[in-house]
Amino acid sequence: MQPTYLQNHSLVAADMIRSIPRMEPVADIIRYQEQYFDGSGVPSDGKKGAEIPIGARVLKIALDFDRQLSAVNDQVAAMQEIKKRDGAYDPSIMECAEKALTQIERTRKTFTQKETTISQLTEDMYLALDVITASGVILGSKNQKITNALIITLKNYEKNGQIKEAIHVLSPIG
C-alpha cells in the first residue's frame, strides 16, 4: 500500500527545509517525526533506535501524546495509552516524558482553578484560560504565568472596556 500525502507530510516538509542553509539537522528531525523507535512508520528506510535523530524521537512522543490527549482530554490517560505501544518510543525519552507529566500533575494538585478580577491577580497565579479582548486580541494564554507586566496590560484593557469577563486563573492552594 502506497503512503498517502498526509503520511508523507514530514518528508515533504523536510525536503523544503533542507534547502535552507544550516537547517539540515532540523530537516532530519522533521523527516523522522513519524518514525517509531522500532523502525516502523514513515520514512521506511530501515533506521531505528538510536539511528533516528534524538529530536525526532522526542517529537514523536510529543506528537502522539498530543493526538491522544485530543482524543481523551486527560493527560494521565493519554500517557497511559501511548505507553501501551510496545517498541514505539525511545524508553529513556519516554521515562523523561513520564517524569515531566508527573511533575505537572503534582503541580496541578497544588493549585485550584477559580474566577477572579484583574485587581485581585497576583504573580503566583497562572492563567487557566486564554484572556481575549472584546475585539479578539489574545492578551494572555492558558497556563501563562501572571507577571506584573501582564497585570498592567490587563488593567489598561479593562479601563478601555475591552475586558468584561472574570479572569480564570490557577491559584496556589493555601
Say if residue 156's pLDDT is above 60.
yes
Whole-prediction pTM: 0.63
Task: State pLDDT tens for residues 76-123.
Answer: 999 999 999 989 999 999 999 999 998 888 777 788 899 999 999 999
Say if residue 5's pLDDT is above 60.
no
Task: State pLDDT tens for residues 25-78.
Answer: 999 999 999 999 999 999 989 999 999 999 999 999 999 999 999 999 889 999
CA dihedral 27, 51, 37, 79 (to 10 degrees): -60
Say if residue 8's pLDDT is above 90.
no
Residue-range domains of the chain with CATH: 9-108 (1.10.3210.10), 111-172 (3.90.105)
C-alpha cell, 59? 517529537
Contact status, residue 43 vs residue 33, Cβ threshold 8 Å: no
